[in-house]
Structure 1
């Protein structure tokens, strides 16, 4: 994507979260931000260590990103960190072994009591909600405890239940 502007775009009115150019403490440590590029290849040195990225500039048109001709270049690098966002809990291992159902975003499905499709298996936080803030995970953990208590005792729980599994922030 291109570098965001300093002012709220008209296409992102309040209360939407605007795409603005911001400088966080991590950016103040140095480094260069590169916008509207597509990595084509990871380059390595003689020992097999990362030595750079082959990339080219892209532009958004006709609903997709298209390479800008004659813009390919190499960006030297010794370390590459992939920040791809939350892609749901890892399916291999526990999720597969339990056989719980997942939704279209690979998060574990749960009912109103935070129980998964497998009786006695409860899920709260990022595994069921998707990537979110720790305060949501804490609230969901407390609400899930209510569901676990009711399941184990066979009667309604007196534990707090601050949120529903489907609750969302007021501003998304």
Structure 2
């Protein structure tokens, strides 16, 4: 940076300018040193090894995700084959897909009868959760319980899928679907 023409400046203005210029030069020097240090650290054997470990972990995660997605797809196809495509719902989550089948007419009637006599919201919720969980065909129940423990708001989506399946089955029975 070139020095400006300081004719007509007071000694205080010159001093303030020189202090600011020195502070700027010190900051630029510190930035250059930090950048050089980061480059050295990034090229160190330890940093390169860590980068490779991170890449290997990412590759393992990608492979596991692909295997999980393939298993989810196979479970969905199997459920569609067993229950009919319009009687199966798929809810995608960060943990993979949850595959649900529609309730049978008997299950739906039993569910309705069980909640009809209940007054406590907690009791109704307990029955609704059990009935909904019974419709999950994938993942296996222990895994599903782990997922629900980690993501309790997933229940909302499972209820919605269950209700959508019930509505679809009822409409199909009336000849609308």
Please give the TM-score of this superposition, normalised by the length of structure 2.
0.25
Please give the TM-score of this superposition, normalised by the length of structure 1.
0.26
Instruction: Identify the structure with the greater strand proportion.
Output: 1
Instruction: Identify the structure with the greater helix proportion.
Output: 2
